[in-house]
A and B are shown apart, each in its own frame.
Chain A
Amino acid sequence: METVFDRPHALTDKVFHYCPGCSHGIVHRLVAEVLDELGIEGKTIGIAPVGCAVYAYEYFNCDMIEAAHGRAPAVATGLKRSNPDNVIFTYQGDGDLAAIGTAETVHAATRGENITVIFINNAIYGMTGGQMAPTSLPGQVTQTTPYGRDVKTAGYPVRVCEMLSTLDGVALAERVAVDSVPDIRKAKKAIKKAFEYQIEGLGYSIVEVVSTCSTNWGLSPVDAIKWLKENMLPYYPLGVYKDVKGGKE
């Protein structure tokens, strides 16, 4: 019998612990498929964040390291500078990348650190139980913005791709989503490009994946996708913000 669908080699057989309706599982699989297709699993080192994806080091078959909250770009820098032939990727959430690790992110990007960043933006802190994230939307109700995010006191959300696209060291900044089959296909293309750019030595690549957190949004998986389309995508428009090879500089 012909096998038409299987687990990518770059994923272990460990069962994901993610909630129903969570985007992490889809994005993990896309990253693993790209590692398989580019044949780079054996030279790739992944960096897991603090947050729901902390166990990424159990799910990917390549060498893995767990970083302190927000420090993944610095850890990636140490790894990449030690063995430039290794392919290094960080997998970071919005609190990790755009709050506690903002300095590490901005400076790895502006140094043009030759790494690939997979950024999960689900507008909430998942693992700690649904607090306001740097990317939570104005008016969004979370455990720590029980009356809705009031921009007068809690400030505005950070648009990461827009911000990073202003930096010279960035090779690719693209925002995608995994809310539909066509979007998943586009997301995979972007992730593949982000790894290819590292192999070509072009600098810092980031793929922001607008994601769902049905548990902490308090919505069913189907309603979470609807909420993402109606609320997240208008604030975080999908698209390429910088691409040094695609004429978008």
Chain B
Amino acid sequence: MKSILVIVFSFIIGIGEDFPDANEILKKVDENLISKNRITESKMVIYGRRNSRTVTSKGYSEGDTKSFTEYLSPEREKGTKMLKLEDRLWIYSPSTDRTIQLSGHMLRQSVMGSDLSYEDMMEDRELTDIYDAKVIGEEEIEGRKVWILELTAKVEDVSYETRKSWIDQERFVPLKEELYAKSGQLLKRISLSEVEKLEGRWFPKKMNYKDMLKDGKGTDFIIEKIEFDAVIPDYIFTKASLKK
């Protein structure tokens, strides 16, 4: 019995030693996903109970703190613009020709009826700043070996106390992410796919956000065109650009 226990323990410890440092993994992930700035053309497919609708947009972002998005279709959303500067978010609606700043509870509303909230889009702190990460195992997702990272909040003001992230062991791109409530209830699942090498980095072109408490297929976020480290004029990230 004693010898069995020793074997089991040494096996567990042995596995533990084989796991790389979680922060190193996250750093490599950041190298792939984070760029100085980027211009994207994307579409969001929002699956409803009976039908689905597609919203296309063009987005500009600089670091994690500045971003500007203009919705291109459907007709109802066309011309709607969104500007995020640090922790502030403005939305311009062409039908009312007004710009409003979203704050407080409004940030918790869904974006265009999708499974994403404005707050989800607002989170710009680096994961390593707000979570303690550790590797808790490895498995395979669609034939690719992944590390399973468990992230536990180390600061109080986070939306999700724990997260799990499945990181591709070769490409260092997350393939799946799960967000949990304090009670351990799974709240959201993000599945990332169509990983391609773009401008020397691996990048997932399709993401599916799914509110796990609701029925339905969630929301797909598909990047159709992406340009890293492009030149973005400064005026884009000003309130004046919302009305242009």
Do A and B come together as binding partners?
A: no
